[in-house]
Each structure stands twice: as structure tokens, then as C-alpha cells.
């Protein structure tokens, strides 16, 4: 029972992202937190209409249990980059995951949680020398490389490093391809291993990353087979490889429509590892989105709207929607079949940067309408949906969350929610135009 191991101390509640870390969390359901925040709130509270997240640490714990069930041999090292939120790191550290860090700052974040340096892998093949020195001083030895220059840097800055060679695998079946930037081709492997041997640098194993949003589970199996070839090459160069790192790219829970599910990947990956690698080989992975995606729900307030009449919809372009073709005035009837432009208080410069950087597909759902709490309810039977676009709060026209949504008519002050918002969202959010990052309310639900 992982929940028993969680210990946050006392006093929780609401805190702005990246500000004060709450030291404990409540166990209320996500629905009840959303309801009290959007329905039963103090109207005089100046932050009452601000966008906010509900983050369920219990979901992270459940993902951990699922991981252990389906991939018992593979030790997860959480990819900090995906969501370096303190509460997330605290939760993961308390349930014993390792950490994949890409910089000095991320290593420090893991160390701040009391993580053993042996449970950290510095998984960035191209590192700044001062950051390598920092890792050496902190006792972090495992780090990846994919080029000979990196070996020379490590030789000077961290001679006791345990290097892991990141190989290039086929990422053509993934939405986010990482092979364009990192990974040594199999033809470069002998040269790199020779260089490491001549430099007296220890190479302890092989890593890969099939890319994120993988839509063919076979990509993981094929990558393991390539890693086996690289292991054999290692033996031929006198190395005793003992670590296989199968990278990240595992989908989050409920990540509908974004590729294959975790279960399908595990069904191929687990047996392929067992077939090609004996028990003497330690197997780790670097999951990011898998742990956090479904743990975060974002609620946004409709702060403004614009009604686009039916005839204008046909010819609507981004340039014209904001001016000539729009109207204000009496509310449209259903017969008018208007389109709506809704302006909400988090956008592309905030949490929704994931649309640009992570190729995320997001779907707005009605949370509260005309004071009615509708979370988890289908509004279809109650009302007609209209075509709409949803825009972020800044003055930039690229701040558009989506142009082709379909929602019942929303009024100013109503609420939308977006599920699965925990991965690559708030970590890269800016405060452009003076809009602060969305606050987070934490909970820790049980199953
Ligand atoms: N490991 C490395 C080296 C990465 O670059 C990334 C993501 O970019 C991850 C792990 C995590 O990937 P994901 O969040 O898709 O699991």
C-alpha cells in the first residue's frame, strides 16, 4: 500500500504553482474540490475566477502500482522535465522511484527530496561541463552520452562517471521524435566504445528513447533488440554492460487517441527484455508523462466571449473573426446557429504551451454553466452544441487553444475543464502579458 508511505506533514491547501509548497494534502474527490471552487466560492475573493489545477497525488501512486504490476522488472526513473512540481517529486520520492534529470537544476530538485544520488541518472547526452562537475560533486555517476566529445568532457570533469550509451532507434512511429537531436547510430557504436576504452571511461550499458506519443508498441520491442546488438558490441570491446535503460514515451492513463496504451507496450516490452537480457542486467526506464498526465485537471473561466453570426462563420478566418464579422448584443437563438469565440484565463503562453511543444491534443469540457455544476455530465441531452474557438487571455492572436471545438452556449463566468493536463504544461508556462501561472489545489484520493 503506497498510500501508507506518503507523509506530507500537516496543513495543505491551495498554492500558486512554483510558490509555497503545501506540506500535506487533503483526500477530497476531484469533483468536490472543483465544485467548491467554482460554485461555493466567496464572490469577493479576488482570485475566485482565476484558472486553477486540481492535482491528485493518489493518481500518481496508482500509476506506480500499475507500472509494478505490468512491468515488474523495469525500475522507473521519473523524467523530472515533464513536471518538476515539488509535490509530484515529493510523492514519487516517497514511493521510491528513481529520477531522470537533464540539468544541474533538476539534479538539485531530486536531491532536495532526499533522493539517493545512485537513484538519479543524468540523462542528457549533451551536457554543460559545470553541470557535469556538479553531478560529480553530488555523487551522481550514471549519465548518458551519444558522441565522442562528450566522453572527453566527462573524462576531464567526472572520471568516475558510469556512462550509458544512448543509441538511435526508429522513432518514425512517434508523434514527438527525439532522434533528430539525440542518439548514436549503430554504425557509430564501435567507434564510441573504442574511444571510451582508450580514454579509460566506464560504459555500463545502453539507453534509447523511442519518442513520445508512440503509436506502435512494436517500436519498444525493436529498440530492445537493437540494444542487445549494442550490448554484444560492448562485450566485443571488453565492457561488462549491466544496465539497459528503455527510456520514456509511455502514455499517461486515459490518454485516449494519442497512440497505444501502456498495457499494450508492457505486453511487448516486458517479454522482449526477458528474452534478450538475463537477470544480471538491471533494467530502468525514464517515464515522464506516464506518471503525471492524468493526475492534473485544469479548470478555466470564460472571461470574455464574442458571438460570430451564422453567415460570418462560413467565411470566418482568424484575421476577420476579431473585427468586422463579429457582433455583440442580444443573445443568439438556436436558429441563428452562431459560432462563438470564448476567451479563457489560461492559454498558449501558460499551460497550453503543450499544444506547441508537446503536440498535445486538448479537449474542453463543460465544468459549470449558469451556476450549475456539470462536471462529468453529458450536456448533449440538455442543450445544443455550437461550433466555437477557445482563446487564451493574452493579446497575441497565436494564443488560441483550438478553433474547432463544439460546446453548448457558454456565458461569461462559466467554467470549462481540461483533463490530462499534468505533462509538459506548467513546467514551460510563462507569465507573458502579466498573467500568472494557474494555481494548484492538491488532493490525494484513494482508488
Ligand atoms: N527521457 C528523455 C531523455 C527524454 O528526453 C524525455 C522526454 O523528452 C523523457 C525521458 C520523458 O518522455 P515521456 O514524458 O514521453 O515519457
Residues of the chain with CATH 3.20.20.10: 84-287
395 is catalytic: yes
User: What is the distance in A from the centroid of ligand 1 to the CA of 121?
Assistant: 12
Check 101, 126, 395, 400 and give the catalytic one.
395
Give the binding-site residues of ligand 1, using a 6 Å CB cut-off.
79, 82, 100, 123, 178, 209, 212, 247-250, 286-290
Average pLDDT over residues 305-312: 80
- Look at ligand 1, atom 4, and give the residue with the nearest C-alpha: 248
Cβ–Cβ < 8 Å for 378, 310:
no
- Taking the C-alpha atoms of residue 239 and residue 224, their distance in angstroms, rounded to an integer, is 19
- Look at ligand 1, atom 14, and give the residue with the nearest C-alpha: 288
User: What is the distance in A from the centroid of ligand 1 to the CA of 247?
Assistant: 7
182-239 pLDDT, tens digit each: 999 999 999 999 999 999 999 999 999 999 878 889 999 999 999 999 999 999 999 9
Point out the least confidently predicted range of 76-85, 172-181, 412-421.
Answer: 172-181
- Taking the C-alpha atoms of residue 24 and residue 442, their distance in angstroms, rounded to an integer, is 9
Strand, coil or helix: 34? helix
251-302 pLDDT, tens digit each: 997 655 556 899 999 999 999 999 999 999 999 999 999 999 999 999 999 9
Cβ–Cβ < 8 Å for 98, 119:
yes
pTM (predicted TM-score): 0.90
List the one residue out of 285, 266, 249 whose CA is nearest residue 173. 249
The strand pair at 372-373 and 365-369 is best described as antiparallel
- Look at ligand 1, atom 6, and give the residue with the nearest C-alpha: 248
User: What is the distance in A from the centroid of ligand 1 to the CA of 382?
Assistant: 42
- Taking the C-alpha atoms of residue 266 and residue 341, their distance in angstroms, rounded to an integer, is 42
Q: Given this structure, which CATH class describes domain 294-443?
A: mainly beta
Residues of the chain with CATH 2.40.37.10: 294-443
Cβ–Cβ < 8 Å for 16, 403:
no
Cβ–Cβ < 8 Å for 332, 338:
yes
Residue 322 above 50 pLDDT?
Answer: no
User: What is the distance in A from the centroid of ligand 1 to the CA of 100?
Assistant: 9
Point out the least confidently predicted range of 151-165, 253-267, 379-393.
Answer: 253-267
- Taking the C-alpha atoms of residue 400 and residue 319, their distance in angstroms, rounded to an integer, is 13
- Look at ligand 1, atom 10, and give the residue with the nearest C-alpha: 248
Three cell numbers, residue 407: 460546446
Residue 88 above 80 pLDDT?
Answer: yes
The DSSP result for 114-179, as a single string, is: T--GGGEEE--SS--HHHHHHHHHHT--EEEE-SHHHHHHHHHH-TT-EEEEEBP---TTEEE--T
In this structure, which CATH number among 3.20.20.10, 3.40.30.10, 3.30.1490.20, 3.40.50.300 belongs to the domain 84-287?
Answer: 3.20.20.10
Amino acid at each position: 500500500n503506497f498510500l501508507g508511505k506518503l507523509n506530507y506533514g500537516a496543513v495543505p491547501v491551495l498554492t500558486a504553482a512554483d510558490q509555497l509548497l503545501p506540506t500535506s494534502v487533503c483526500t477530497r474527490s476531484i469533483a468536490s474540490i472543483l465544485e467548491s471552487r467554482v460554485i461555493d466560492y466567496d464572490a469577493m475573493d479576488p482570485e475566485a475566477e482565476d484558472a486553477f489545477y486540481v492535482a491528485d497525488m493518489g493518481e500518481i501512486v496508482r500509476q506506480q502500482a500499475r507500472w509494478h504490476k505490468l512491468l515488474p522488472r523495469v525500475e522507473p526513473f521519473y523524467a523530472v522535465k515533464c513536471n518538476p512540481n515539488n509535490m509530484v517529486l515529493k510523492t514519487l520520492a516517497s514511493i521510491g522511484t528513481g529520477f531522470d534529470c537533464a540539468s544541474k537544476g533538476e539534479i538539485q530538485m531530486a536531491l532536495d527530496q532526499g533522493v539517493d544520488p545512485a537513484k538519479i541518472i543524468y540523462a542528457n547526452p549533451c551536457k554543460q561541463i559545470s553541470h557535469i562537475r556538479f553531478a560529480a560533486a553530488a555523487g551522481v555517476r550514471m549519465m548518458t552520452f551519444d558522441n565522442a566529445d562528450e566522453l572527453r568532457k566527462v573524462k576531464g570533469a567526472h572520471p568516475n562517471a558510469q556512462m550509458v550509451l544512448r543509441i538511435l532507434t526508429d522513432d518514425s512511429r512517434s508523434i514527438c521524435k527525439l532522434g533528430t537531436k539525440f542518439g548514436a547510430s549503430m554504425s557509430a557504436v564501435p567507434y564510441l566504445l573504442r574511444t571510451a576504452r582508450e580514454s579509460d571511461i566506464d560504459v555500463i550499458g545502453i539507453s534509447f528513447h523511442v519518442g513520445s506519443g508512440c503509436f506502435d508498441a512494436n517500436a519498444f520491442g525493436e529498440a530492445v533488440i537493437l540494444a542487445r546488438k549494442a550490448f554484444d558490441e560492448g562485450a566485443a570491446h571488453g565492457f561488462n554492460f549491466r544496465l539497459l535503460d528503455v527510456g520514456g514515451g509511455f502514455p499517461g492513463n486515459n490518454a485516449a487517441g494519442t497512440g497505444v496504451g501502456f498495457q499494450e507496450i508492457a505486453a511487448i516490452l516486458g517479454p522482449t527484455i526477458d528474452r534478450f537480457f538475463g537477470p544480471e542486467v538491471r533494467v530502468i526506464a525514464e517515464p515522464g508523462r506516464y506518471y503525471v498526465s492524468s493526475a492534473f485537471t485544469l479548470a478555466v473561466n470564460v472571461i470574455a466571449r464574442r458571438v460570430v453570426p451564422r453567415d460570418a462563420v462560413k467565411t470566418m478566418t482568424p484575421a476577420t473573426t476579431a473585427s468586422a464579422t463579429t457582433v455583440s448584443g442580444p443573445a443568439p437563438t438556436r436558429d441563428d446557429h452562431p459560432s462563438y469565440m470564448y476567451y479563457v484565463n489560461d492559454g498558449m503562453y501558460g499551460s497550453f504551451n503543450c499544444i506547441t511543444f508537446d503536440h498535445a491534443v486538448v479537449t474542453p469540457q463543460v465544468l459549470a454553466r449558469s451556476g450549475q455544476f456539470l462536471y462529468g455530465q453529458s450536456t448533449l441531452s440538455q442543450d445544443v452544441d455550437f461550433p466555437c474557438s477557445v482563446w487564451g487571455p493574452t493579446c497575441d492572436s497565436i494564443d488560441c487553444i483550438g478553433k474547432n471545438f463544439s460546446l453548448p452556449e457558454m456565458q461569461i463566468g462559466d467554467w470549462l475543464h481540461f483533463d490530462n493536463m499534468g505533462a509538459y504544461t506548467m513546467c514551460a508556462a510563462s507569465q507573458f502579458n502579466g498573467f500568472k501561472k494557474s494555481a494548484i489545489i492538491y488532493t490525494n484520493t484513494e482508488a
